Each structure stands twice: as structure tokens, then as C-alpha cells.
Amino acid sequence: MFTGIVEELGEVRGVEQHGGVLRLDLAARATLEGSELGASVAVNGVCLTVVAQRRDGLAFEVGPETLARTTLGTLKGGDAVNLERPLRFGAAVGGHLVLGHVDGIGTVTDVTRVKSTARVRIALPGVDLAPLLVPQGSVAVDGVSLTVAALERVAFEVMVIPHTLAVTTFGRLAPGQTVNIETDVIGKYLQRSLALKGAS
């Protein structure tokens, strides 16, 4: 479990694919501590398992299911990625509860600079995720905890402050880019509970 507060920007050093599994080698510093073999790390909002640790980076293996559901398969050498280690009991929750399980891939349709901030509009992959977003509610985009500033039928907007633009991949976002979306887990449980009650 994560909080959506990015700890550092990592850099893709290598991407290799073998037998449907993608090996992702990343340069990292701050997230190395505690990220031993078998540990979990959120990479652009996707919970991955560390399969190797170097003095200056981490390696992960990404299976077919994750490749189909996320944007990780589009990464290439030199790309920046948002990195976060898991929440530890007793630590502050600065964002919101994020599982690292992506619900869908969105597409950035507009990035408007408003003084030192940015307003980002993201199109949803369809109507299925729309009920899980609420105005002023929480959403994780590429692993960044954000507040829904505006909501449309199949799109939403977020406002991004200067600090977030500087320390995450949001400072490099442009129209046409795809992003990982994870909706608030509370909404997912509520939707499931209501669906089951309606079915009985």
C-alpha cells in the first residue's frame, strides 16, 4: 500500500523483453533503502517487486497482465518514472491510500499552465471508471495522489502545484501521453457492495 507521495524521479536505464516478461532496470537513489530483493515499489503508480538491487538502481519484472493494464510497456531508455516505497505502519499518510493496482489507462488531452501551476485534463478509457471519481475526491495518476478539480462524463481535470511539477513526471506531461489511473479504493468497495446488494 502506498500514499501517492512520490519520493523520487527514477530513470529508465534498460528495457528488455523475454518470453512475454519485460525486465525494467531503473536508476534510483532515495528509494534504494529498504528496497531489497522481494520488496514492493510503486513505479508510475504500479506496484512491482524488486528482482535485483544495484548500488545505484533497481530492477523489476513486469508480466503480461500488468503490461496489458498499464503504461509500463511504453517505457524506453531515458524516461523518467515516479518512485515510491510502501507505506510503513506509524508513518504519516500525506496523500491517500493507493494500492498500486491500476484501474485503467487515461490519455492527457490538455495541459494548461496557470501561472506556476498546471491544469491537466485526462480522458478516461471509457465510462466504467467515471462512477469511481467524485469532485474534490482523490485519484492517483502515474502514482501521484491528486484531487479531482473537475469532472466530465469520460474525463477529469486535476490542478498540479509547482512542487509536484518539479518532483514528479507531471512537469513533463504533454497532450497525447498515456497515464496510469487508480481510483480511490473506498469507492471501489462501495460500488462492489452496492452491485452485490442490487443483484440479490
DSSP string of 72-101, one letter each residue: GGG--TT-EEEEEPPP-TTS--SS--B-S-
Number of domains in the chain: 2
| pLDDT for position 199 | 60
| pLDDT for position 95 | 81
Q: In which residue ranges of the chain is pLDDT below 50?
A: 200
Both 67 and 123 in a single domain?
no
- CATH code of 21's domain: 2.40.30.20
Is residue 73 included in any domain, yes or no? yes
Nearest to residue 2, comparing CAs of 98, 109, 68?
98
**Distance from C-alpha of 151 to C-alpha of 149, rounded to nearest angstrom:** 7
Q: Are strands 138-141 and 57-62 parallel, antiparallel or unpaired?
A: unpaired
pTM: 0.93
Grid cell listed for 12 = 529508465
Both 69 and 41 in a single domain?
yes
Range of the domain at 47: 8-84
| pLDDT for position 135 | 94
Note the pLDDT tens digit of each residue in 88-106: 877 777 788 899 999 999 9
| pLDDT for position 45 | 98
What does the mean pLDDT of the chain come to?
94
Is residue 93 included in any domain, yes or no? no
| pLDDT for position 82 | 98
Is residue 96 included in any domain, yes or no? no
Both 111 and 184 in a single domain?
yes
Sequence-separated (6 or more) residues with CB below 8 Å from residue 114? 159
Cβ atoms of 51 and 61 closer than 8 Å: yes
Both 129 and 190 in a single domain?
yes
Both 168 and 131 in a single domain?
yes
